Amino acid sequence: MEEIFRPYIARAELVPLLEEFCLPLPGFYLYYPTRRNLPLKLRVLVDYLRATRR
What rounded mean pLDDT belongs to the chain?
84
Residue environment code for 9-33, b if the CB has 16+ CB neighbours within 10 A, otherwise e: eeeeeeeeeeeeeeeeeeeeeeeee
Q: Left, alpha or beta for 36 (phi > 0: left; psi -120 to 50: alpha)?
A: alpha
Which pTM does this prediction carry? 0.45
Per-position DSSP letters for the chain, written without gaps between them: -HHHHHHHHHTTSS----GGGPPP-SS--------S---HHHHHHHHHHHHHH-
Q: How confident is the model over 13-38, as pLDDT tens digits?
A: 998 888 888 787 777 778 887 777 88
According to the model, what pLDDT value does residue 54 have?
A: 66
According to the model, what pLDDT value does residue 8 have?
A: 93
According to the model, what pLDDT value does residue 16 have?
A: 83
According to the model, what pLDDT value does residue 41 have?
A: 92
